């Protein structure tokens, strides 16, 4: 059965949701509808379609989970998307805030051969421009160990691991502050009552609001390298 771009998108988002859950591979259809910004009936129809094709299982009151075939399709879709993003940023010099939607469109139509050439030209990266891990060509997803900046302790040197927003304006603003994956910093002050955070980034102090800080995932230096 040919997997349509819409089916690939559902599988990829289902995998992303399950990937960052601890131990539970089932996700709710409501969570999938929210992240895809579609209606509950639309999700129900696609879930039935994907279940019939053998790409996922649906257990009442527990949710859906990907079958091995569904996981493979999801990983290849995610790999294409994230490698296209790296190519657009690293080779074609687009901003990291400009590439998410275009990578969705290009990733749905380019061949695996073209994607692997993009990977080579981009230096075989392990993370997308936003810090998300890139699945390997043999279908393995590297594991990320990180936590929210809002949970970080004061006065410890950390590295920005991932940025979880796709909002172009937020990404552009974070980029203007130098807050991108791989950036080293120290959290020097956290205002009470969900107030702003002050970060020491090199020789500069950057101030970021609590809500936007929630989009930054951070880790210790030893955790940044993917395995």
Report residues of the chain scoring pLDDT below 70: 1
Cα distance between residue 12 and residue 36, in whole Å: 11
Task: Return the CATH superfamily for domain 147-224.
Answer: Ferrous iron transport protein A (FeoA) (2.30.30.90)
Q: Do domains 5-70 and 147-224 have the same CATH topology?
A: no
Q: Where are the domains of the chain?
A: 5-70, 147-224
Cα distance between residue 218 and residue 89, in whole Å: 22
To the question of domain 5-70 being in CATH 1.10.10.10, the answer is yes
Which residues are paired to 160 by β-bridges? 218
Q: What is the pLDDT of residue 59?
A: 87
Cα distance between residue 43 and residue 29, in whole Å: 7
Name the DSSP class of 187: E
Q: What is the pLDDT of residue 103?
A: 94
Mean residue pLDDT across the chain: 93
Q: What is the pLDDT of residue 20?
A: 83
Q: What is the pLDDT of residue 25?
A: 84
pTM: predicted TM-score of the whole model, two decimal places: 0.91
Tens digit of each residue's pLDDT (9 = 90 or more) over 94-136: 999 999 999 988 988 888 899 999 999 999 999 999 999 999 9
Name the DSSP class of 143: P
Burial code of 29-41, b = ≥16 C-beta within 10 A, e = fewer?
Answer: bebbbeebebeee
């Amino acid at each position: 059965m040919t997997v349509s771009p819409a089916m690939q998108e559902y599988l990829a988002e289902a995998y992303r949701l399950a990937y960052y859950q601890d131990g539970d591979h089932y996700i709710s259809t409501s969570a999938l509808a929210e992240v895809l910004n579609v209606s509950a009936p639309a999700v129900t129809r696609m879930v039935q379609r994907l279940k019939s094709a053998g790409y996922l299982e649906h257990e009442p009151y527990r949710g859906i989970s990907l079958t091995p075939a569904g996981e493979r399709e999801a990983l290849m879709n995610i790999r294409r998307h994230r490698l296209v993003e790296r190519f657009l940023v690293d080779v074609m010099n687009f901003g990291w805030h400009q590439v998410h939607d275009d990578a969705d469109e290009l990733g749905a139509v380019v061949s695996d051969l073209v994607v692997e050439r993009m990977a080579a030209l981009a230096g075989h990266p392990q993370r997308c421009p936003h810090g998300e891990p890139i699945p390997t060509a043999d279908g393995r997803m590297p594991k990320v160990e990180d936590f929210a900046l809002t949970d970080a302790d004061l006065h410890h040197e950390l590295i920005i691991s991932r940025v979880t927003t796709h909002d172009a304006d937020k990404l552009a603003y974070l980029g203007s502050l130098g807050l991108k994956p791989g950036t080293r910093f120290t959290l020097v002050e956290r205002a009470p009552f969900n107030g702003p955070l002050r970060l020491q980034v090199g020789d500069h102090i950057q101030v970021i609001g609590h809500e936007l800080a929630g989009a930054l995932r951070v880790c210790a230096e030893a955790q940044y390298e993917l395995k």
